[in-house]
Every structure is written in C-alpha cells, then in structure tokens.
Amino acid sequence: MIARRSTHLATPAGYSELRIDSNVSGQSALFLALLLGGICAPRLANAEQTAPATVVLVTNHQDAAIIPLLRSELESLGLVVETVDKGEAEVIPRDLKRAAHDRNAVAAVRVLVSAGVVEVWIADRVTGKVVLREVLPQAEDSKVSESTVVLRVVELLRASLMEVEAPHASRGEVAPPPTLYKVVGFPEATGQLRLEMGPAVIMSAGGVGPSLAAEFEIGYRMSNYLTLDGFGATSIVPGEVSGTEGTARVLSRIFALGMEVHPSASVSSWQPFARVGIGLLSLSSKGDARTPYVGYQRDDAGLAVLAGLGTRLRLTRNIAISATIQGLRAFQPVSMQFNNTTVARFGTIAAIGSLGVALAVP
C-alpha cells in the first residue's frame, strides 16, 4: 500500500489556515473564461460587422493625377483604400486579383492611361468578376478630365458589387462585409435618374388658405454632388379666400427647374439635400359671389424662385421616402380683389411641404 504524502505547514497563532481546493480553482477559472468570452464575443462580432471594406488601387506614375481624387472619393464611401505601386508594367487581371487577395481586399482597381483611351479595370472578389470600362476616348487635342474618370470608376465598382443583393449566393471568393451594402445601396448613388411623387401642402401668407396638392419630381444625377431637378406641384383641393361678398377658390400650379446639392453617396440611410430653382407659378381663381355681387374667373401666371431643404430615407436599394420643405417667392405676387378691394395676395411668401416616394432608375 502506498500512502499519499502530504505536507502540512504549521499556521502561526492568530492566523486562519487557507486551503485551496484545486478542483474548485479549476471550475472558477473555467467560469471566469466563459464569462469573459460572453462579454467580449459580441463586441468582437460587432467590430467585424462594422469594419470597413478595403479596396486596393494598383497605380503607376501615369495615373498620378487621378489616384488622389479616386482615393478621396472611395474613402468618402466608407472604404479603406490601399495603394500598390506596379511601376510601368502592364497589370493583367490575374495580377489585380492577386493584389486584392494579398491585402484581404474586396476589390482591386487599375486605371490605365494611354495616348488614345483611358481604361478602368476592376477585379471584384465578392462577385468573382473582372470588369472593364473605356472612359471617353481621347482626341488628339483633348483630354479626359480626372473627375470624369473618378466618377466612372465609382459607377463601375457599384455596378459590379450590385450582385451582392441578388437572390443567389455570393459567387466570389470572399463574403461581402455588411458595411459593403451601404456602399452599394442608396438610390442617389445607384441610379442616374430619380422619379418621385407624393402628397404636398401649398401655403401662402396673405390670406389664401392652404391647398392640398400632388407633387412630382424628376432628377438626373450630373455628378456625385449635383442633381438636375425638375419639380412640379398642382392643387387637388383648392385654397379659399372668404369675405362678405362671397368666396373665391384658388388652384395653384408650380413648375420649376433647379439644382439639388447632396452629399456624395452617404454611407448612412439618411441623405439630406438642399435645392434651389426657378419656375412658373400659375393661379386659377374662381369667385362664388353673394347677391348682389357678380362672380368671376381669372387666370394668372408669373415667374417665381424656390429654395428648400429635405432628406431621404433609404428603404431598399432603389426606393426611398423623402420629406421636403420649400419656400417660394413670386416676382410679382397675385392680388385678389372683391368689389375692387384687395382681400388677399398669393406669392409674397409661400411654402410647399411634401412627402414622397423616390425610385432610382439605373
């Protein structure tokens, strides 16, 4: 029989003896590890979901004027940009894929500048494609602007990445990071043409009551920051002016052309914008007179300026809802008279508030 030897150290007087059970200690360590893991794991997972995607720019000296602008534009989309200097050697698609793979990037971009044409190559590891676009062939006496090339690069990258929202599984070698959907997503960023319509309220200081209206818009994106905007609103329920002589109903119509300024492809679902324009204000008023007065019907038209602020909230890749408030000032406000007495004016200061649904058309 083998006796288990134990060593017991005497405990000084006035002190309690401390014994550590190795089994209890192991259980405590395991519990502590599980607790720390439960606290840290969600934070690590959340950090992965919010980590920005990386894009590699393969460059040489010929594209030196384009790369800083392209880097700035891609970074404004929430992407991390790395550059790889390939010198003067031509970069074939296989090399683009390798450059993206070596840096764990979602895509690699190469802009080839030659005497006759500017080529944009993109190797997309998320969708497994290599895409090419020629940017405005250069005449001997002209040159493609750097801003045009940058815009085409961003458009081509988005067009390639749109496949991440297709119903089938990803066909690339890497899964799309969650943050990449924000880059692909907002209607102003994915469509050059925007169609919008919805209800509106037209109000004017000066005595004319509010009018329920329908508004519609057509926008054409000219750059990442500017959209050419056509706006219209027409009364459905007329505003009214009342007096002892009777009541006049006023139908207002506004048609304007202007510019909309907005952030460049905001990574947020919210996109604020500002708008300014000039257009035509048309009023049709019809009076219902009380005896002994006589009713009348009158049409007026004139120029007006508009300025406003608004925001859009993305619902899907191509659909957003919008809210806008615009101020209107007519060059020549319209006066309304009962029995040769002015009872109201329209257009001195007016406002148009609207809600709409916007559809982006690629």
Q: Choose the weakest-confidence range: 37-46, 108-117, 191-200, 282-291.
A: 37-46
Average pLDDT over residues 150-165: 78
Average pLDDT across the chain, whole number:
77
Average pLDDT over residues 53-75: 82
148 and 101 housed in the same domain: yes
181 and 155 housed in the same domain: yes
In the predicted structure, residue 76 carries a pLDDT above the cut 60: yes
In the predicted structure, residue 334 carries a pLDDT above the cut 80: yes
Higher pLDDT, 25 or 165: 165
Which of 126-140, 210-224, 291-305 is modeled with the greatest confidence?
A: 210-224
**pLDDT tens, position by position, 243-258:** 777 788 889 999 999 9
- Decide which of 117, 151, 185 is a domain's last residue: 185
In the chain, DSSP assigns E strands to: 54-59, 80-85, 107-113, 118-124, 129-135, 193-204, 211-221, 226-237, 239-243, 246-261, 270-289, 297-314, 319-330, 334-338, 341-346, 350-361
The pLDDT assigned to 153 comes to 84
**pLDDT above 70 coverage of the chain, percent:** 72
Q: Choose the weakest-confidence range: 16-30, 165-179, 331-345.
A: 16-30
Residue 8 lies inside a defined structural domain of this protein: no
Burial (0-12, 13-18, 19+ Cβ within 10 Å), 36: exposed
The pLDDT assigned to 187 comes to 44
90 and 215 housed in the same domain: no
CATH number of the domain that 116 lies in? 3.40.50
pLDDT band at 123 (very low <50, low <70, confident <90, very high): confident
- Decide which of 161, 185, 209 is a domain's last residue: 185
Average pLDDT over residues 263-270: 61
109 and 236 housed in the same domain: no
Q: Choose the weakest-confidence range: 39-53, 105-119, 137-151, 168-182.
A: 39-53
**pLDDT tens, position by position, 42-61:** 444 444 445 678 888 888 76
The pLDDT assigned to 147 comes to 79
226 and 306 housed in the same domain: yes
Cα(177)–Cα(188) distance, rounded to whole angstroms? 21
* Total domains in the fold of the chain: 2
Higher pLDDT, 175 or 20: 175
Side chain identity at residue 238, one-letter code:
P
3-class secondary-structure state, position 332: coil
The pLDDT assigned to 47 comes to 40
Residue with tokens 């007329």: 238
Residue 301 lies inside a defined structural domain of this protein: yes
218 and 145 housed in the same domain: no
Token readout for 351 is: 């406002």
101 and 175 housed in the same domain: yes
201 and 342 housed in the same domain: yes
Average pLDDT over residues 185-191: 50
Structural domain that includes position 153:
54-185
Average pLDDT over residues 20-46: 50
The pLDDT assigned to 74 comes to 85
Cβ neighbours around 55 below 10 Å, total: 25
Q: Does residue 351 contact residue 325 with C-beta atoms inside 8 Å?
A: yes
Higher pLDDT, 40 or 79: 79
361 CB-near residues (< 8 Å, 6+ apart): 191, 192, 193, 194, 195, 318
211 and 338 housed in the same domain: yes
Q: Choose the weakest-confidence range: 260-274, 291-305, 329-343.
A: 260-274
Side chain identity at residue 189, one-letter code:
A
Higher pLDDT, 51 or 235: 235
The pLDDT assigned to 218 comes to 94
141 and 117 housed in the same domain: yes
Residue 103 lies inside a defined structural domain of this protein: yes
203 and 344 housed in the same domain: yes
177 and 293 housed in the same domain: no
